[in-house]
Amino acid sequence: MSGGERKRGRLTRRAFLIGAVAVAGGVAVGVQQVRRPHPNPLAGQDAEPGAVTLNPYLLINQDGVSIITPRAEMGQGVHTTLAALVAEELDLPWESVRTLHGPAAAAYYNAAALEAAVPIPSWDHGWLAEGLRDAAGVASKLLGMQITGGSTSTADAYLKMRKAGAAARVMLVQAAARRWRADTAALRTEAGQVLDPAGGRQLPYTALAADAATIEPPADPPLKPRAQWRLLGRGLPRVDMAAKCTGTAQFGIDVQLPGMRCATVVANPYLGGSRGGFDAGPAEAMRGVERVVDLGATHGDALAVVADNTWRAFQAARALEIDWQPAPGISGDSAAMLDAIAGSIDTLAPDATPRDDGDVDQALRIARAEARPAVKAEYRAPFLAHTTLEPPAAVALREPERLTLWCGHQAPTLLRDLAAEQAGLDPAQVDVRVQFLGGGFGRRAEVDFALQAAAVAEAMPGTPVKLTWTREADIRHDLYRPAAVARCTGVLDRNGLPETALLQIASPSVIRSFSGRVGLPAMGPDKLITEGAAMQPYHIPNYRVVGYAPASPVPLGNWRSVGASFNGFFHECFLDELAAAGGIDPLDMRLRLTRDYPFAQAVLEAVRELSGWDEPVAQDDSRRRGRGLAMTHSFGSTVAQVVEVSDGADGIRVERVHCVADVGLALDPGIIEAQMQSGIVYGLSAAIMEAITFRDGRAEQSNFHDYDALRLAQTPEIRVRILQSGDAPTGVGEPGTPPSKPALANAIYAATGKRLREYPFNKHVRFA
């Protein structure tokens, strides 16, 4: 590739704006460029010998058919569901399906991730909304960003991977028709073969693939009607299950190469701090230690220790003597940071006002004049870490004109481009091989750990290096879920229903922090600050949601459900307070506020039935009991939850969670149920016990003894019901998380009368 092309490729990426609206700016683009498909990364010089590819999702060799499932498998079952989309159209028997993540490639761009950035409610399918989504889809194709995030993988793949399977089927049938000199209309497909019922003949796809590859793919192959689905719509055995239950699934941390060295890093513990001198002598003298590599300013002044095994690297890292220095002028105290975030509501101009119905100012003036009391509450949410159980880890190998990276990653094309820049290579010379992820939750959309591995490998050409973070490094050097504060003001009408609701939400911008790190410009307001509080399916006559974006010294990242992870808590706890002030049942109140949104009404009615909401709470022992309700629309899905708690001598127990999720169209109910449970456990863990606090510029937590999560004994029974109000799938991996925290807070209020406006709740109440 010429230098000019390299530069243009970089410009295109640089022109990727992430803010309120995703646009490819500054690049003149012809219609042809939009229409032209990305090259098939399975073909060309890197093609597997003896294998045939019919499109970027299919590789056929003597052993059978492999489906490329180019999204990060981090537990959400995406390899299974994406494979089912292709296998359904291709009439492959499920038992024969094999999946490969495949290479990092523009062909695997995620259009839905950018379409979701359009600042219009997901339920709006009008011409403007759809037009903007189309524009965002075009932008994402041009940018070729392969991303697993925003709960978008199945929405993005739903049409294109079924079309890939259907197109391949047409080509295979034509190949058989040519071979047999038969009419394609007389042939059918079943169990990985083309059949000629009249002629009594059959040929497996493996025997037809080479011929099929010479046939022009149909542009718009017919798709199976839903009534004929065999695989989609039912719970399938996961393709990764046996490997994960036998220790044979390979995660990034498990990659082993001949001659491989093992490394770890020690980074500056101070936010924005600097480094004086260091003495590597004692560490380098230790057994098995090969060297200490100074990764320099671009890697946070981190030092890497390279040894012949990971434990010796860990030991030597502790022996490093480093003069770390705190940043001057940064208040490194999280309590003060939260106060500053709250204060920004008074001092900063709004970043965005994504909802502003009626006239909130006038309504509040009138209420004051009429001496009607306002309901006021301030809520706070802490910084959080992701703590994926697999700590950040990556393997890198630098060879002449080539860099290879092995790790679990949610954004492999971004990692490829940044690793190429760092190594002075062309992106085509960087090979990112995505492994299973031992948890993602947004943490593995970050490039820090993998670029560190690449930097160590740069210093040791020809030697593969595995870099593993300690858990302490992970918790002290995360890209944290930001702290957030909401100031809420509400006024009730004569019937006790909310007439006015004002939510002022302040939180440092994740988008700006992330894009600053990876060298992308971020422009426009940050929609994530209000996500999960704005664009909720409620009608309140005067209803305003305002976002503020104060600066923060803390590096920030995407944490499962992102802004909705605190906004669900703010919005739904405040609605509960309004219901209590108006003397109205919280579920009845929500039913009255959602009259314009039938899908939300259906979710509420279903959770009413599932949870037995209309039956009195059992009071049969010495424990005080209560139920709490919350509903959040996020990632295109609507999820309502009822949490049941009891309070006794040993503290509060979370007894049960009832969850109703409208996911548009349910492709795999088993996986969806598991994802709802997972999202709930992740949310309840944070609500009950998680917080990252800073003192003197350093994170105070370091391992699971002071940053824990729910274990089996504390985890409630979780019952899930799935609703399908649409004709396409919406988000599943994240929408279970936002309502879990407010439903728990509201249940604790119902049981104890105590309003919890800040989490983690174990600061305020005791849990059993």
Partner 1 sequence: MTPNPIDLMVNGVQHQLSVESEMPLLWVLRDVLGLTGTKFGCGVGQCGACTVRIGGAPVRSCTLPVGAVSGPVTTIEGLGTPEAPHPVQQAWIDAQVAQCGYCQSGQIIAAVCLLEQSPSPSPAEIEAVMTNLCRCGTYAQVRTAIARAAAALPASGGQA
Residues 251-310 touching partner 1, rule: CB under 8 A, are 251, 253-254, 256, 262, 287, 309-310
**If binding is defined by CB under 8 A, does position 681 make contact with partner 1?**
yes
Helices (H), 299-411: 310-319, 334-347, 360-369
Q: Where are the beta strands (DSSP E) in 320-444?
A: 321-325, 352-357, 375-381, 393-399, 402-407, 430-434
**If binding is defined by CB under 8 A, does position 95 make contact with partner 1?**
no
Least Å from the CB of residue 391 to partner 1: 7
Distance (Å, whole) CA 228 – CA 237:
20
CB nearer partner 1, residue 185 or residue 712: 712
**If binding is defined by CB under 8 A, does position 70 make contact with partner 1?**
no
**If binding is defined by CB under 8 A, does position 762 make contact with partner 1?**
no
Q: Binding segment for partner 1 among 140-148, 517-525, 620-628, 712-720 (CB under 8 A)?
A: 712-720
By DSSP bridging, strand 465-468 and strand 261-266 are: parallel
CA 556 to chain centre: 14
Under 8 Å between Cβ of 286 and 319: yes
Least Å from the CB of residue 684 to partner 1: 9
Least Å from the CB of residue 347 to partner 1: 38
**If binding is defined by CB under 8 A, does position 158 make contact with partner 1?**
no
**If binding is defined by CB under 8 A, does position 670 make contact with partner 1?**
yes
**If binding is defined by CB under 8 A, does position 567 make contact with partner 1?**
no
Under 8 Å between Cβ of 464 and 687: no
Place of tokens 């049942």: 585
CB nearer partner 1, residue 506 or residue 692: 692
| Per-residue binding letters, 421-440, with partner 1 (x by CB under 8 A) | ---------------xxxxx
Under 8 Å between Cβ of 435 and 251: yes
- As a whole number of Å, the end-to-end CA separation of the chain is 62
Residues facing 405 on adjacent strands:
396, 432
Under 8 Å between Cβ of 469 and 264: yes
Under 8 Å between Cβ of 556 and 482: yes
Give the tokens for residue 22.
């995703």
How does 573-585 read in b/e, with b if 16+ C-beta sit within 10 Å? bbbbbbbbbbebe
Least Å from the CB of residue 659 to partner 1: 12
Helix (H, G, I), strand (E, B) or coil at 22: coil
Least Å from the CB of residue 705 to partner 1: 6
CB within 8 A of 465, min separation 6: which ones? Answer: 260, 261, 262, 263, 306, 395, 396, 397, 453, 456, 457
Applying CB under 8 A, which of residues 177, 249, 425, 581 lies at the interface with partner 1? Answer: 249
Applying CB under 8 A, which of residues 123, 379, 406, 441 lies at the interface with partner 1? Answer: 441
One-character DSSP codes across 521-559: ---S--GGGTBTTBS-S---SEEEEEEE----SS-B---
Applying CB under 8 A, which of residues 153, 388, 404, 561 lies at the interface with partner 1? Answer: 388
Applying CB under 8 A, which of residues 33, 250, 347, 362 lies at the interface with partner 1? Answer: 250
Give the tokens for residue 624.
């005080």
**If binding is defined by CB under 8 A, does position 193 make contact with partner 1?**
no
Q: Binding segment for partner 1 among 102-110, 214-222, 521-529, 678-686 (CB under 8 A)?
A: 678-686
Q: Binding segment for partner 1 among 426-434, 548-556, 611-619, 670-678 (CB under 8 A)?
A: 670-678
Q: Binding segment for partner 1 among 107-115, 246-254, 377-385, 528-536 (CB under 8 A)?
A: 246-254
Can you say whether the dihedral through the CA atoms of 26, 30, 34, 38 is positive or negative? negative
**If binding is defined by CB under 8 A, does position 181 make contact with partner 1?**
no
CB nearer partner 1, residue 35 or residue 287: 287
Applying CB under 8 A, which of residues 678, 701, 730, 746 lies at the interface with partner 1? Answer: 678
Q: Give the DSSP H/E element, type plus range, for residue 505.
A: strand 498-506
**If binding is defined by CB under 8 A, does position 246 make contact with partner 1?**
yes
How does 211-239 read in b/e, with b if 16+ C-beta sit within 10 Å? bbbebebeeebeebeeeeeebbbebbebb
Least Å from the CB of residue 651 to partner 1: 16
One-character DSSP codes across 196-257: ETTTTEEEEHHHHHHHHTTSPPPSSPPPPPGGG-SSTTSPPPPTTHHHHHTT---BGGG---
Applying CB under 8 A, which of residues 38, 201, 244, 698 lies at the interface with partner 1? Answer: 244
Least Å from the CB of residue 438 to partner 1: 3
CB nearer partner 1, residue 6 or residue 471: 471
Residues 460-489 touching partner 1, rule: CB under 8 A, are 468, 470-471
Least Å from the CB of residue 252 to partner 1: 10
CB nearer partner 1, residue 224 or residue 244: 244
Q: Binding segment for partner 1 among 67-75, 353-361, 420-428, 577-585 (CB under 8 A)?
A: 67-75
CB nearer partner 1, residue 253 or residue 503: 253
Least Å from the CB of residue 607 to partner 1: 19
Q: Binding segment for partner 1 among 97-105, 233-241, 505-513, 624-632 (CB under 8 A)?
A: 233-241
CB within 8 A of 134, min separation 6: which ones? Answer: none
Q: Give Dmax over CA atoms of the chain in angstroms.
A: 87
**If binding is defined by CB under 8 A, does position 58 make contact with partner 1?**
no
Tell me how many residues contact partner 1 (CB under 8 A).
63
Applying CB under 8 A, which of residues 56, 70, 75, 412 lies at the interface with partner 1? Answer: 75
Q: Which of 499, 475, 501, 473 is nearest to 489 (CA)?
A: 501
Residues 327-366 touching partner 1, rule: CB under 8 A, are none
**If binding is defined by CB under 8 A, does position 711 make contact with partner 1?**
yes
Q: Is 199 left (phi over 0), alpha (psi -120 to 50) or beta?
A: alpha
Distance (Å, whole) CA 479 – CA 383:
10
Binding residues for partner 1 (CB under 8 A): 73-77, 235, 237-238, 240-251, 253-254, 256, 262, 287, 309-311, 314, 387-391, 436-441, 468, 470-471, 670, 674, 677-678, 680-682, 685, 703-705, 708-713, 715, 717-718
